[in-house]
Amino acid sequence: MELSAADLAVLVDHTLLKPEATPADVTALVVEAAELGAYSVCVSPSMLPLPDAPVKIATVCGFPSGKHTPAAKAAEAAESVRLGADEVDMVIDIGRLIAGDAAHTETEIRAVREATEGAVLKVIIEAAALTDEQIVAACRAAEAAGADFVKTSTGFHPTGGASVHAVRLMADTVGGRLGVKASGGIRSWADATAMIEAGATRLGLSGTRAVLDGAPHTD
């Protein structure tokens, strides 16, 4: 796969979700995202609104644990959209999924979907903490509930972030009907392009500049 830095940049949600992030940090993030040609910035809900941002604005919901009620997630997501978020990345309650309650997973995704009309909804499944069967069940629930993307990870879970195996399985399960966002631990050009080759259609990167700087140079 021959990709330029610009080709990859337009797939990137340039991300800053550290609890200690300040408004000045977020302002700098937006400037850098525009400079790098990223698709969007992804920031915490408390950082909204971002008036006149020259890129799309994504935020998170139920982050990072997912241990919130469907109603709480829906209310948080609705407020974020009211404050200008174009995209919402929600975290599912993976404990309920691991316990075999995929119906709850579908219910909570649908609640957020209904609260975010007009916005892109991505569903974070924390794939590194799941079996292959649970990954498939989460992807099916996301599709049934009307989500737009499935996403590997928050980047905060101790089991790890994105893997090529998980991205490929997620992409195979959704079959192009949903996007696949790879996020968590992607720190190099090789990592990023491996995820795209496995089927990722969006990348969540906090070190976007370093990844793009690793692009092969052609003279």
Tokens encoding 213: 């700087």
**Residue of 51, 35, 44 whose CA lies nearest to 15:** 44
The torsion angles phi and psi of 130, rounded to 5 degrees, stand at: -115, 155
Q: What is the DSSP letter of 159?
A: T
CA distance 36 to 10: 9
In the chain, which residue ranges form alpha helices assigned H by DSSP?
Answer: 5-9, 23-36, 70-82, 94-98, 102-115, 132-144, 164-174, 189-198, 208-213
Tokens encoding 170: 């997620």
The secondary structure of 131-143, three-state, reads CHHHHHHHHHHHH
CA distance 182 to 201: 8
Collapsing DSSP to helix, strand or coil, 216 comes out as coil
Enzyme catalytic residues: 89, 151, 181
CA distance 55 to 125: 25
